[in-house]
Structure 1
Amino acid sequence: MNDKAKQASKIWTDLDIDAPGRQTGFLWLPLAVHDRSGDDAGYNCEPIPIVTIRNGEGPSVLLMAGNHGNEYEGQIILMKLIRTLKVEDVRGRLIILPAANAPAVRGDRRNSPLDDGNLNRQFPGDPSGGPTAMIAHFIESVILPRVEYVIDLHSGSLTAEYLPCAVVARPPNPDHLEEALTRLRVFGMPVGMIIEHSTGGDGALIGACRRQGVKHLSTELGGGGDVNRAAVEMAEYGLARLLHHIGATSRALTDRRAPDCRFVARVPSRDYVYAGSSERGLFEPLVGLNDTVEAGQVVGRIHFTTTPWRDPEPVITRTDGLVLTRRIPARTGRGDCVFALGRDWSPAGTN
């Protein structure tokens, strides 16, 4: 544990995280910055909603959404769970943060409007840093040592839509791999993604969980600034199944069986599909989520509104794969990722 992780958090709370029963309240994030409204926030605090439910013996689990503020499906799932879950349904302890990066949720932004902080790049955080670093430090130093599992619900933010899936990182210990795959099967999204590490590296929540010895599962549930109803429903059933599977609920909260889960891995980022045009134009996709593409295939066209008589520029994939994500804004130019791809996964690598 580094020196910053050992320091006491400056975030405080008006509830006892370890108390039995059901509690609702806030983590209070002290603000020593000016927010985007121009108000002097030097003596103010940002409230971060927290709910704890503790009942008897069982595992401790952190349920989290709002890691990125404009990813909505997970926030809705956890708010619904908070309102419906009874204390007697729980075995052990649930700690629920439905708006983990509360300033970003309030600002309806991926990153915090206070410091442009991306919470999923800030771990292990800093108790004396900016607001986002302080939240990351509290989660890693105060909450993660109390839990055995983390379920972190993500979606595609405003610029991407995901093929709904659950995600685990390959555990450092090979003996733990089958248990991680079982969690994917139980959660039961049609696609289960196995990653070697998060895009955010050790600065992501996955890195924090590895440092703290906590088992982690996340999701990608749609995105594009909308709420994917089908993805929300699938994930609600999946969360209910997984909580019962790990012993965190006293009864099964759903009788919906898990569908077959196709294991995939992302291709290297260099093999994603990128727009190559130096002039920005309107991207016309020719394939969609869950489609299979082949190397050399034309998967889209960029049309140029400033010279509408010009032929569109084709967008060509350099590798085979399954379409996992698609870009949402039609206005597109060089370097924009228009599709991310995956391939079927096996323990030895992608097929």
Structure 2
Amino acid sequence: MEAPTSMPFDRFDPEAMGPGKYLLHLTLPGSEEIGLPTLLVNGGHPGRTLVALAGVHGDEFEGIVALQEVFARVKPERVHGRVLAVPVANPPAVHAARRTSPQDGKNLARVFPGRREGTMTERLAFALSEALIASADFLLDLHSGGIAYEFPRLIGYDGRETEPARASRAAAFAVGAPVLVAHPRIPSGRTISEAARRGIPWLYAEAPGGGRLDPRTLRFYVRGVLRLLAHLRILPGAVRRAPPRWHLISEGNLDRAILSPASGLFVPQVRVLERVRSGQPLGVVRDAFGRRVASVEAPADGYILMLRALPAVTAGDPIALLASVYKGP
């Protein structure tokens, strides 16, 4: 395979490129040394476009490798439409293995649709919005818990009553995740909120994380992407609806998580997906001498959707997210 072709992001036109596989480096104005590594598979038949992203947070590596593996497997002659993947959507953060950018301290998943003349993170969001998400018939964003958080392996979908949301829900059941999470609202600044603004259906994925490449998570992601491609008829093959073991509903917003009341070491007393009651202890924060300096309690009944995995905490750090059982259709 040839070396990547470099071009400004606003000159990228996948429809002008013939069938085949392409490695591309989409550069940003004024920052040619930093760009978006883009994997394009143009099929030999007309069809839909799946845009798949990973590495939005720099300490989440599973989706990066999964998209690379899917790209290696997919053959253009079998593709109806195109597969457009950006495995490293936030190069500065990935290179630093940090959730946020070392260049401006911003969280890429909070600044969409971005700004052409903004900070580095805002320019990345702008390029992703204009050159990639805008061309999608469907958006997939692969995340994980990163270094600090633990999630179950899950697929999140649009739980609203709109036509794109219904397409999102149908695709979620096709992927075959053990946990599905419906989102009745979409917080602003995300890739998925940008897709929703454009009327594009979306899914996102989460997994346990830990700053490592877990083989089970890689298999889950690769299998899920291939099933989604078949569901969208970009790849041939039938996909049966796969009911989840857990069907939950949550805002899934870390900005509204249960927060640590103190700094120290967080020692959990519950597990991911455990059912908890209002007022139940979720864990304690200890100081360096082992003394309890704070207790973290559940503010309501629910199921643990996310739990702090990194023991070191500062007051105000997210500790847990709760979800409820989905009772819709």
When normalised by structure 2's length, the TM-score is 0.87
Q: Note the alpha carbon deviations across 1:88-114, whole angstroms, 9 max, x for none.
A: 231101111111112222222222222
Per the alignment, do residues 347 and 304 of structure 1 end up closer, same or farther by CA in structure 2, a change over 3 Å counting? same
CA contact (8 A) 1:10 1:128 kept: no
Cα drift, residue 168 of structure 1: 1.3
Structure 2 match to 1:228 = 214
Q: Could you tell me which of 159, 174, 189 is aligned with 1:186? A: 174
Per the alignment, do residues 187 and 106 of structure 1 end up closer, same or farther by CA in structure 2, a change over 3 Å counting? same
Q: Does residue 321 of structure 1 match 2:320?
A: no
Partners in 2 of 1:146 and 1:223 — Cα distance?
A: 29
For structure 1, the residue ranges without an aligned partner over 5 or more in a row are 1-8, 33-43
CA contact (8 A) 2:252 2:321 kept: no
Cα drift, residue 272 of structure 1: 4.7
Cα drift, residue 196 of structure 1: 2.8
Amino acid at match of 1:330: P
Q: Could you tell me which of 310, 323, 328 is aligned with 1:342? A: 323
Cα drift, residue 342 of structure 1: 0.7
Q: Could you tell me which of 275, 282, 285 is aligned with 1:292? A: 275
Structure 2 match to 1:27 = 26
Structure 2 match to 1:276 = 261
SS in structure 1 at match of 2:47: coil
Amino acid at match of 2:183: I
For structure 2, the residue ranges without an aligned partner over 5 or more in a row are 1-6
Tell which structure's C-alpha radius of gyration is larger: 1
Q: Could you tell me which of 110, 119, 127 is aligned with 1:130? A: 119
CA contact (8 A) 1:160 1:327 kept: yes
SS in structure 2 at match of 1:59: strand
Structure 2 match to 1:39 = none
Identical pairs, percent: 27
Q: Could you tell me which of 139, 151, 164 is aligned with 2:128? A: 139
Partners in 2 of 1:133 and 1:240 — Cα distance?
A: 31
Structure 2 match to 1:95 = 84
Per the alignment, do residues 335 and 81 of structure 1 end up closer, same or farther by CA in structure 2, a change over 3 Å counting? same
Partners in 1 of 2:318 and 2:125 — Cα distance?
A: 28
Per the alignment, do residues 331 and 130 of structure 1 end up closer, same or farther by CA in structure 2, a change over 3 Å counting? closer
SS in structure 2 at match of 1:45: strand
Partners in 2 of 1:216 and 1:268 — Cα distance?
A: 15
CA contact (8 A) 1:151 1:216 kept: yes
Per the alignment, do residues 178 and 331 of structure 1 end up closer, same or farther by CA in structure 2, a change over 3 Å counting? same
Structure 2 match to 1:304 = 287
Per the alignment, do residues 271 and 29 of structure 1 end up closer, same or farther by CA in structure 2, a change over 3 Å counting? closer
Per the alignment, do residues 11 and 142 of structure 1 end up closer, same or farther by CA in structure 2, a change over 3 Å counting? closer
Partners in 1 of 2:243 and 2:311 — Cα distance?
A: 33
Q: Does residue 331 of structure 1 match 2:312?
A: yes
Aligned length: 319
Q: Could you tell me which of 250, 260, 263 is aligned with 1:266? A: 250
Q: Note the alpha carbon deviations across 1:302-345, whole angstroms, 9 max, x for none.
A: 33324x4x456443222111111111221235433322111112
Partners in 2 of 1:31 and 1:116 — Cα distance?
A: 19
When normalised by structure 1's length, the TM-score is 0.82
Cα drift, residue 177 of structure 1: 4.1
Per the alignment, do residues 347 and 83 of structure 1 end up closer, same or farther by CA in structure 2, a change over 3 Å counting? same
Q: Note the alpha carbon deviations across 1:155-208, whole angstroms, 9 max, x for none.
A: 1122111111111123462x5544322211111111111113344x1x211221
Q: Does residue 17 of structure 1 match 2:5?
A: no
Structure 2 match to 1:49 = 37
SS in structure 2 at match of 1:58: strand
Structure 2 match to 1:5 = none
CA RMSD of aligned residues (A): 2.7
Higher mean displacement: 211-220 or 325-334:
325-334
Q: Could you tell me which of 172, 189, 209 is aligned with 2:195? A: 209
Per the alignment, do residues 172 and 104 of structure 1 end up closer, same or farther by CA in structure 2, a change over 3 Å counting? farther
Q: Note the alpha carbon deviations across 1:111-165, whole angstroms, 9 max, x for none.
A: 2222223222222222222222222222222223322101110111221111111
Structure 1 match to 2:152 = 163
Partners in 1 of 2:236 and 2:52 — Cα distance?
A: 17
CA contact (8 A) 1:168 1:193 kept: yes
CA contact (8 A) 1:188 1:261 kept: no
Q: Could you tell me which of 106, 109, 113 is aligned with 2:102? A: 113
Partners in 1 of 2:127 and 2:266 — Cα distance?
A: 42
CA contact (8 A) 1:284 1:303 kept: yes
SS in structure 2 at match of 1:224: coil
Partners in 2 of 1:115 and 1:236 — Cα distance?
A: 32
Cα drift, residue 78 of structure 1: 0.4
Q: Could you tell me which of 196, 199, 211 is aligned with 2:184? A: 196
Partners in 1 of 2:55 and 2:314 — Cα distance?
A: 29
Cα drift, residue 17 of structure 1: 2.0
